[in-house]
Structure 1
Amino acid sequence: MANQGAKKRRDENTRHMNNLFRLIIASNAIFLLLRAGVFYSTFTWLHWIGLILTSGAYYICYNQLASMAKPTYTDDGDLLDGGFDMSTGGACGYLHDVIYITCFVQLTSIISGKFWWIYAVIPAFAVYKGWGLIKGFLPQGSEGVEEDEKTRKKREKMEKKASRGKFVKAKAR
């Protein structure tokens, strides 16, 4: 009964990583079969570069997720930790998003090369998130700005309200 949670997480991570691997293999196989096989007359060197680009994105993200999902064992061989929980957000969620966006772009690029522009979502989102981080370190420019009468009164009222203690009504018995 000991370490049931770790065993369960290890099994879930193994199943999840197997499903991701199948998705990646299926996407690459469908792309090669349809784009290079069926539409071979329009298959150019740009499609090879696209295949290399998507395969590289798959490889980097999948290896990072695999290292996160890897369980740790003691020297005796007992399970110590089942690995990182793959259902959480943060970096793990972003890696999943890159894999799913790559899969979508790769499969839809069979139809039209214009779908490669969807790949611009990834760096655009990174810039958006990075700007929020950088903006927190920049000085706020509101120190030298004069505030008008209405804004000053509203701020003073809010400060006065915040400084008052809150009273809690209790029922009398």
Structure 2
Amino acid sequence: MAQKAAKTLAASNTTRLNQTLYATLLIHSLFWLLRAFLFRRTFTRTSLLLYTLLSAPQLLIHFQFERLGRPTYGPDGSVKRSGEDLNARGLTEYMWDVAYWTYICLALVSVFGDWMWWLYAVIPAYAVWLAWTTYTGMRGGYTDAAGVPQEQAQSKRQQKMEKRGGQKVQYR
């Protein structure tokens, strides 16, 4: 049972990276097959340029996840390095969102045409909205929409302690 957490993380990362690889191959193959056989007349240089520019972030994210998250094993099968946690919050979570949104846009572009690339504008718009709400929250001292400062939320334990008369200090 040595390194159980590392083994679990390695197995989880391997499964998720394999699923991502298969999804990437499927979606990009679908795009190329549909464009090669069904929509040959609408596949222009502009289409190729849009595909290259707008699918590149997903491919770069995939390669980054492979580099950081793919576990390495020793010759005896033991886990040498389990890789970074691919379910982490923050930037990793945002990178997964970009990858999944690219899959959706690519599938829709495959079927409905190049004008569906406009859906890709949601990603920078969402990033701008997050930055703006964070900025206004910090600038306003975390006030509500009316400008009234918000009190710190108390936990149930803190509420019970306050109800009993506050925290009592015992001296020994």
With structure 2 as the length reference, what TM-score do the two structures score? 0.71
Aligned to 1:100: 100
Counterparts in 2 of 1:88 and 1:36: CA distance versus 1, 3 Å: same
Deviations 1:136-165, CA, capped at 9 Å, x for gaps: 55477x9xxxxxxxx9xxxxxxxxxxxxx9
Counterparts in 2 of 1:121 and 1:73: CA distance versus 1, 3 Å: same
Q: What are structure 2's unaligned runs of at least 5 residues? A: 149-160, 166-172
SS of structure 2 residue aligned to 1:109: helix
Aligned to 1:127: 128
Q: What is the CA–CA distance in structure 2 between the aligned matches of 1:18 and 1:97, rounded to whole Å?
A: 17
Aligned to 2:152: none
Counterparts in 2 of 1:54 and 1:27: CA distance versus 1, 3 Å: farther
Aligned to 1:117: 118
Counterparts in 2 of 1:73 and 1:19: CA distance versus 1, 3 Å: closer
C-alpha displacement of 1:48: 0.4
Amino acid aligned to 2:68: M
Deviations 1:35-72, CA, capped at 9 Å, x for gaps: 12221111111210122124311222112222331447
Aligned to 2:29: 29
C-alpha displacement of 1:73: 7.8
Q: What is the CA–CA distance in structure 2 between the aligned matches of 1:61 and 1:86, rounded to whole Å?
A: 12
SS of structure 1 residue aligned to 2:48: helix
Q: 1:52-71 to 2 correspondence within 5 Å?
A: 52-71=52-71
Q: 1:74-85 to 2 correspondence within 5 Å?
A: 79=79, 81-85=81-85
Aligned-residue Cα RMSD (Å) equals: 2.9
With structure 1 as the length reference, what TM-score do the two structures score? 0.71
Q: What is the CA–CA distance in structure 1 between the aligned matches of 2:32 and 2:73, rounded to whole Å?
A: 39
> 2:68, 2:83 within 8 Å by CA — same for their partners in 1?
yes
Aligned to 2:86: 86
Q: What are structure 1's unaligned runs of at least 5 residues? A: 143-150, 152-164
C-alpha displacement of 1:166: 3.2
Deviations 1:123-148, CA, capped at 9 Å, x for gaps: 011111222333355477x9xxxxxx
C-alpha displacement of 1:5: 1.5
Deviations 1:3-51, CA, capped at 9 Å, x for gaps: 0220121121112111111111111111010012221111111210122
Aligned to 1:40: 40
Amino acid aligned to 1:90: G
Aligned to 1:18: 18
> 2:69, 2:84 within 8 Å by CA — same for their partners in 1?
yes
SS of structure 1 residue aligned to 2:162: coil
Counterparts in 2 of 1:36 and 1:50: CA distance versus 1, 3 Å: farther
